[in-house]
A and B are shown apart, each in its own frame.
Chain A
Amino acid sequence: MYRIPICIGMVLLLLGAAAFGVSLWDGPAAWHTDMRTLWGTPIALFVLWIGLAHAGTLISAIFLALGFPLDRRTSMIAELSTLCSLVVAAMFPLLHLGIIENFYMVVPFLDARGNFANMRSPLVWDCCSIAVYAIASSIFFVTHLLSEKRESLKKMVRPMSWLLFPLVLWVHTVVSLDFAVTFVPEWRGAFFPLYFICGAIYSGLALVIILLMAEHCRVRLLEKLMLALSWVMAAFWLWEFMLKGTFSFEVVFLGAIVPQLLWLRPIRDNSFVIMLVAVSAILSLGLERYVLVTPSEYNVANAFGWVDMGLVVFSLGLFVTLFFMLRVRLRKPLEGDDVVMGELSVQDEESASPVKGELSNNFHLLRLPLLVGFLAMLLYVLWAVSVFPDPMTSLSVANIVPLCLPLLVLVAMVVLCARPFWLVLNRRTKYAFVALMGVAGVLAGMFWAGGSSVAAPGAVSVQELATFKPAEKVWEARCASCHGKDGLFNEKFVREFYPVPQKLSLERLDSLGTDSLVSVIMHGRINMNAYGDRLTEEDARGLVLYMRLLAGEGR
């Protein structure tokens, strides 16, 4: 079962591994970049895969939340594809970084040095939203997986889907902001969030359709939805063309024209062609992301090196391998007892989702978690606004707003499922929980400590001001140990060890004259040391002037 997809995935993974290794080692120099393209392929792949990751939660959570009829196995497949896509998607922003081990600096918490991530940056919102999305969809998946046999978890699925519904839209809005807030002309536009969300759902649907094909099953509802979305995407491309006067033929052809084949009945009935249509939709979106991230290079073929191609292949191989291996592994809980696939019949639908009846019940379940989540969010906002040490980079509340929803959802989700989960866990998973907490503690500690800085190997010279050697300081450093800071001897030292020096008075200074005093300082006399090798004559003259000052003050 699924041996062929796993083999294909492995082969792709193997082919891509070299490109991945080079990118990891070589850093951003490995893939194609140029004067205007600072990001390149990994970010394009990231946006594509995070888009593909939306299908599962969309189909499962949103359909569930809205009461659409979909059987369990289809939703589980979709959710599993979300998790695998998220794993793939999460690798690329890390790979993209110049210094990968510094990734933790993006997390908006204080460290021991008082450093704080810049919460004005969409990248911080991005990182947090996606992390929360990954955690939330894993919890959702596990709950869904275990809910077959356990009534206490079954109750949780619906309220959870309501929490995920806004989050899934939020995540891609935030991803689109990475582009929309910049100065690159090709990336500007207020339509970006909607555009990205629709593109994400479109490609995600196509992915789920393909994966369902592997199960030998088709869901008409999803195919219809895909067709509808191809029109929405066409509208966006038209919009963009009218705004900026550019469009890519391949993208529009593959994404908007090919799917129209579904209008023809013979084609609609052929599953293989449907699969090809879905592939073309994903390809179109992939190309579109690449063109977007590489603004200067419209000719994709020229820019694409072997590393870029290898990264694409790697991502594909990783996804396929991961997905089908998990699929095989989770065969029993995934498929459950029922063998039916696809849409439920009308009668099932009515019995399965009495929407109004469950609404109040679900609402009761959600009340406390939402309250706790809201409080946590409020506390975080207050803390983040107050904690900033430097007024030049102080935050406004608007900068934190994008983090509010993910935080609320995360806390609410944990509060919601903590108790029922705890009751379900067995001894082994509880040990795993303890271990997990330990690992979390270690990670937090590493983040907090922030590493040790290394002392400079050589001497770091610092330019002193050229004119800078005030007589007062020289006196304190060179003379005060015997002659005293105020010119009245340092009693503790002089009386004990050395003969008492001459008293400092204006008359004496005048009688000796500046030149002879300078010569004494430079060459020494009886008990007075010679300083000629450590002071310049100019310094010495300054000292004599300072002595006059001290003698005057002494009066």
Chain B
Amino acid sequence: MDRREFIKACSVVLLMQAFAGCRRVTLDTSSSMPSLEDFVNEVKMAASRSKPGFDLVQIPMPSALKQSGASPLNRFGMAIDLDACNGCGKCILACMQENNIPLSSKERRAAGQFMHWIEMRGGTPSMCFHCGDAPCEKVCPTGAATHTPDGLSTMMYKRCTGSRFCGANCPVGARKFNYDDAVKEGLSRRFNSEVPLRSKGVMEKCSLCLQRLQDHKYSHMAQFPGNEWRGTGVETACAGACPKHAIIFGNWLDPASPLVKAAKRKNIYAPAEVAALDPSVVYLRGNR
């Protein structure tokens, strides 16, 4: 056999091996829809494996964003009242239903990697803190992670290329990567027709229920053109589901917002990792 033939033979084997590698995965795909009970069970499982809590440090009340172009009227945020929260995990389930979050595959579950946007940390829920000075947005190469003038850290999934740089640069690990094609593997269920499903290979995270804010804002602006919109009356799915009313959604720049009213009565804390990054989501503890 001369060299040319040898190389040819090797190339053929190479191609076949690469294809063999590809095929392994396509064979075991089933697409069934998980039941609500599956979601409940997964939330229970995740809550039972609560990660260690944060070191909380006291911070002043969030004020308007410092970036140019930020809205002087709105900065949406959330507060989690640690005195009221008992760690029941209902917020996680509500979040999954609102945002069509898929179940995690078996291997991911074993590694403790859940897709949940809300996680239990030391018995209290934690999600993306929507830092005003968000480190994840700075390193996103494509500009898929951006800030809205209203203070939300948003993800544009169609623009995401899955470099996972944002995930590596999130101090609290709030970003979740879609390792699996949840729809194909029957892990996904579309509870809410308003929220598109994310494809395999993109990063996702808490959006502060962006869709609810958008709907409310546009209806309001159509109804009262020229009238200022402050997001009065909107709440996130987790806030709505909390039986103890421990999660309070609102507008930090609106004195009439329930969020500001609650935060004025209590001390405001944030995890030490993000305290210097101007978080919009905070913890409340102890009456002032």
When A and B assemble into the complex, do they touch directly, with CB atoms less than 8 Å apart? Answer: yes
Binding site for B on A (CB under 8 A): 3, 6-7, 10, 13-14, 17-22, 24-29, 33-36, 38-39, 96-99, 102-103, 105-106, 115-118, 120-124, 127, 178, 181-184, 325, 390-394, 453, 456, 458-465, 468, 470
Nearest Cβ in chain A — how far from B113, in angstroms? 7
B193 and A21 within 8 A (CB): no
A123 and B165 within 8 A (CB): yes
Query: A27 CA to B179 CA in the complex, in Å?
Result: 7
Query: A122 CA to B18 CA in the complex, in Å?
Result: 32
Which residues of chain B are near A105, meaning CB under 8 Å? 141-142, 159, 161
11 A–B pairs (Cβ distance < 8 Å), ordered by A: A21-B17, A27-B162, A38-B177, A98-B164, A99-B202, A102-B160, A122-B139, A456-B196, A462-B194, A465-B216, A465-B219
A116 and B14 within 8 A (CB): no
Query: A122 CA to B6 CA in the complex, in Å?
Result: 43
Pick from A21, A124, A182, A468: contact of B20, CB under 8 Å = A21
Closest to B146 in A: A393
16 new A-B contacts at CB < 8 Å, known A118-B137, A465-B216: A14-B13, A18-B18, A21-B17, A21-B18, A22-B22, A25-B21, A28-B179, A38-B167, A38-B168, A39-B164, A96-B163, A102-B162, A106-B161, A115-B159, A458-B193, A465-B220
B10 and A22 within 8 A (CB): no
Pick from A14, A117, A465: contact of B142, CB under 8 Å = A117
Query: A155 CA to B213 CA in the complex, in Å?
Result: 65
Pick from B22, B24, B196, B200: contact of A98, CB under 8 Å = B200
Is B228 at the interface (CB under 8 A from chain A)?
no
A117 and B21 within 8 A (CB): no
B178 and A98 within 8 A (CB): yes
A459 and B193 within 8 A (CB): yes
A182 and B70 within 8 A (CB): no
Shortest 3 CB-CB contacts between residues of A and residues of B: A98-B162, A21-B21, A98-B201
Nearest Cβ in chain B — how far from A191, in angstroms? 20
Known: A35-B173, A459-B193, A461-B194. A390 touches B161 (CB 8 A): no
Pick from A10, A178, A470: contact of B10, CB under 8 Å = A10
Binding site for A on B (CB under 8 A): 3, 6-7, 10, 13-14, 17-22, 24-26, 67-70, 107-108, 111-113, 135, 137-143, 146-149, 158-165, 167-171, 173, 177-180, 193-194, 196, 199-203, 212, 215-216, 219-220, 223, 273
B173 and A17 within 8 A (CB): no
Pick from A98, A182, A453: contact of B169, CB under 8 Å = A182
Which residues of chain A are near B194, meaning CB under 8 Å? 460-463
B20 and A97 within 8 A (CB): no
Query: A470 CA to B219 CA in the complex, in Å?
Result: 12
**Most chain A CB atoms below 10 A, which of B21, B108, B194, B223:** B21
Nearest Cβ in chain B — how far from A41, in angstroms? 13
Closest to A98 in B: B162
Pick from B161, B165, B168: contact of A99, CB under 8 Å = B161
B147 and A392 within 8 A (CB): yes
B163 and A97 within 8 A (CB): yes
Closest to A28 in B: B179
A97 and B69 within 8 A (CB): no
B202 and A98 within 8 A (CB): yes
Nearest Cβ in chain B — how far from A199, in angstroms? 20
Known: A34-B113, A465-B219. A123 touches B139 (CB 8 A): yes
B22 and A24 within 8 A (CB): yes
Nearest Cβ in chain A — how far from B26, in angstroms? 8
Nearest Cβ in chain B — how far from A29, in angstroms? 4
Which residues of chain B are near A458, meaning CB under 8 Å? 193
Which residues of chain A are near B201, meaning CB under 8 Å? 27-28, 97-99
A118 and B143 within 8 A (CB): yes
Closest to B165 in A: A123
Query: A116 CA to B140 CA in the complex, in Å?
Result: 12
A28 and B159 within 8 A (CB): no
Nearest Cβ in chain A — how far from B211, in angstroms? 8
Closest to B161 in A: A102
Closest to B169 in A: A182
Known: A390-B146, A393-B146, A468-B219. A118 touches B168 (CB 8 A): no
Nearest Cβ in chain B — how far from A292, in angstroms? 12
Which residues of chain B are near A463, meaning CB under 8 Å? 194, 212, 215-216
Pick from B6, B13, B111, B199: contact of A35, CB under 8 Å = B111
Which residues of chain A are near B141, meaning CB under 8 Å? 105-106, 117-118, 121, 123-124, 127
A392 and B215 within 8 A (CB): no
Which residues of chain A are near B143, meaning CB under 8 Å? 115-118, 393
Known: A21-B18, A99-B199, A105-B159. A29 touches B13 (CB 8 A): no
Which residues of chain A are near B108, meaning CB under 8 Å? 29
A118 and B142 within 8 A (CB): yes
A465 and B223 within 8 A (CB): yes
Nearest Cβ in chain A — how far from B14, in angstroms? 5
Which residues of chain A are near B216, meaning CB under 8 Å? 463, 465
